[in-house]
């Protein structure tokens, strides 16, 4: 048991657990997921094909399509020499195709044919620079496609429905070291009904709908170490949901979102959204770890939001800065149609840092303005630190099954600790002068709070608190 007079030890314990969770998340990100192998077979140079113009004066669409069609069935690579390549329609890639640049290559558009319409089944696949050839299939026919080290500039002519890269019913797609920019394009990368795909070490900015978008029930996606900056009016930054127009009963599962830096600029977007959004749809099993989310100075924005979750979720070691007015972390279990989540939810929210949040509303746009909100069953919440800001509750849950461990508030915050009748009104605070922990609040309401860091004696406890050497602060009416 750690006495309250030793805050440094408590923080050391929290940071050590964070480091362990960070390492575990990195290992989990690759365990069981096959990476796209290097392309074998033909190595084609894009400028060898008639019509491919690296100056950007002529439209290179037809020449790039010819290069893609020239890749043999066993696979191969298309190298784009440094330059600017203008396109006006989609280039579809067969299985085993790698498109890459040694550096200094930009693909741009002035007007792209075919904005996003009904895309699955997709009889008319237009509006994206690259996609997969058999996008209308429902059996993951296309596989092992890679896009690497290319800048995409979508200019001003495309609107919020355009996707720069779009893959449908494909597996083992990798997008790496790419830059996505423009004025008001929709998505940088969209996955629909895909499996085992990765976006890593990319930069995207000025998107309007989402930087990384996944729906129709994608599985085993990994979004790793990307830098993402919103555009004006953006809706979300990373989106994973089970909704889709081909079927309601889809499941998105087993995804990893880690190491990303998300900046909400000129937008009150949701940084990471996980949700069902349709009757019978499910979002199951995910890791959201080691991400940094920075709110817009004026509009703030939303952090990590999960709606209708089932199975195992780990939200750990994220740093959320300057968010509001809703809870920076809100995890909700139970499905969109009101049915009980299956598999049984097991949602772990640990070792996150929330700084300077201005929370004025709770989940469902109602009361209980909390730094962390947990609705539905199956939550465990501990080791989180809330620094500065304003909020009504440090952690709030509407379920008696929620297990709360030690979570730290900070001096000057307007915080309470509770869950509407089960765990009430406690904030652990470090005195800025003495460094000693203080227990604040009136604990006379019914409930209990289990803490490993409790006083070594009952002296100085708030009204209604009963001390126990087993590490339990019991609260009696």
pLDDT in tens, 218-261: 999 999 999 999 988 898 999 998 765 445 567 888 999 999 99
Pairwise CA distance, residues 379 & 375, whole Å: 8
**pLDDT attached to residue 82:** 97
* pLDDT of res. 33: 38
**In contact, 353 and 21? CB cutoff 8 Å:** no
Question: Tokens 């509006």 belong to which residue?
Answer: 127
Read off the pLDDT of residues 360-394 as tens digits, 9 standing for 90 and up.
Answer: 998 877 777 889 998 888 888 888 888 888 887 77
Residue with tokens 């923080």: 11
pLDDT digits (tens, 9 = 90+) for 23-72: 333 333 333 333 344 445 789 999 999 999 999 999 999 999 999 999 99
Q: In the Cβ-directed half-sphere of 21, how many Cα atoms lie within 13 Å?
A: 24
For the chain, list residues with pLDDT below 70: 1-40, 113-127, 157-161, 243-249, 277-280, 335-343, 400, 405-406, 409-477
Whole-number pLDDT of residue 301: 92
Determine the pLDDT at residue 250. Answer: 76
7-475 to CATH, choices 2.160.20.10, 3.40.50.2000, 3.60.15.10, 3.90.740.10: 2.160.20.10
- What is the domain partition of the chain in residue ranges? 7-475
The pLDDT score that the predictor gives to residue 344 is: 77
Closest CA to 174 of 36, 280, 52, 312: 36
Taking the model in full, what pTM does it have?
Answer: 0.80
CB-count burial class (<10 Å; 0-12, 13-18, 19+) for 193: buried
Residues contacting 217, CB < 8 A, separation 6+ = 193, 242, 244, 247, 250, 251, 252, 281
pLDDT of 6 reads: 24
Q: On the CB side of 323, how many CA atoms lie within 13 Å of its CA?
A: 33
Sign of the C-alpha dihedral computed for residues 457, 462, 465 and 470 taken in this order:
negative
DSSP labels for 243-297?
A: --SS-SS-EEEEEEEES-EEE--S---EEEEEE--STT-EEEEEEEES-EEE-BT
- Give the per-residue pLDDT at 355: 93
**Per-residue confidence (pLDDT) for residue 381, from 0 to 100:** 85
Measured between alpha carbons, how far is 119 from 126 in angstroms, rounded to an integer? 9
Among 113, 58, 107, 65, which Cα is nearest to 85's? 107
Please report the pLDDT score of residue 19 as a whole number.
Answer: 34
């Amino acid at each position: 048991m750690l006495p309250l007079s030793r805050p440094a030890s408590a923080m050391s314990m929290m940071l050590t657990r964070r480091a362990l969770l960070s390492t575990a998340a990195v290992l989990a990100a690759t365990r069981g997921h096959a990476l796209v192998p290097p392309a074998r077979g033909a190595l084609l140079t894009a400028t060898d094909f008639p019509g491919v113009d690296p100056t950007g004066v002529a439209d290179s669409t037809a020449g790039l399509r010819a290069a893609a069609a020239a890749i043999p069935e066993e696979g191969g690579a298309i190298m784009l020499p440094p330059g600017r390549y203008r396109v006006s329609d989609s280039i579809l890639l067969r299985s085993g195709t790698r498109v890459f640049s040694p550096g200094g290559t930009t693909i741009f558009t002035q007007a792209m044919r075919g904005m996003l319409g009904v895309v699955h089944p997709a009889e008319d696949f237009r509006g994206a620079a690259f996609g997969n050839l058999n996008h209308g299939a429902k059996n993951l026919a296309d596989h092992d496609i890679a896009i690497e080290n290319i800048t995409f500039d979508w200019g001003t002519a495309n609107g919020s429905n355009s996707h720069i890269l779009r893959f449908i019913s494909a597996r083992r797609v990798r997008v790496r070291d790419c830059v996505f920019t423009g004025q008001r394009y929709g998505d940088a990368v969209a996955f629909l009904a895909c499996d085992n795909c990765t976006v890593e070490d990319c930069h995207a900015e000025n998107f309007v709908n989402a930087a990384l978008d996944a729906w129709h029930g994608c599985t085993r996606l990994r979004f790793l170490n990307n830098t993402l900056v919103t555009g004006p009016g953006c809706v979300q930054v990373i989106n994973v949901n089970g909704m889709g127009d081909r079927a309601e009963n889809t499941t998105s599962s087993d995804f990893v979102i880690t190491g990303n830096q998300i900046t909400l600029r000129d937008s009150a977007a949701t940084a990471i959204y996980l949700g069902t959004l349709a009757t019978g749809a499910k979002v199951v099993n995910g890791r959201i770890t080691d991400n940094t989310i920075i709110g817009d100075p004026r509009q703030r924005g939303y952090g990590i939001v999960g709606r209708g979750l089932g199975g195992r979720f780990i939200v750990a070691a994220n740093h959320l800065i300057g968010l509001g007015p809703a809870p920076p972390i809100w995890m909700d279990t139970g499905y969109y149609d009101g049915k009980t989540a299956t598999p049984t939810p097991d949602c772990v929210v640990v070792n996150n840092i929330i700084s300077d949040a201005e929370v004025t509303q709770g989940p469902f746009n109602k009361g209980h303005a909390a730094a962390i909100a947990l609705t539905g069953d199956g939550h465990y919440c501990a080791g989180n630190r809330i620094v500065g800001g304003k909020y009504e509750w440090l952690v709030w849950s509407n379920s008696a099954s929620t297990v709360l461990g030690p979570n730290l508030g900070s001096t000057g915050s307007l915080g309470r600790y509770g869950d509407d009748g089960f765990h009430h009104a406690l904030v652990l605070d470090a005195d800025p002068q003495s460094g000693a922990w203080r227990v604040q609040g009136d604990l006379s309401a019914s409930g209990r709070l289990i803490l490993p860091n409790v006083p070594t004696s009952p002296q100085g406890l708030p009204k209604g608190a009963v001390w126990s050497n087993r590490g339990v602060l019991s609260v009696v009416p």
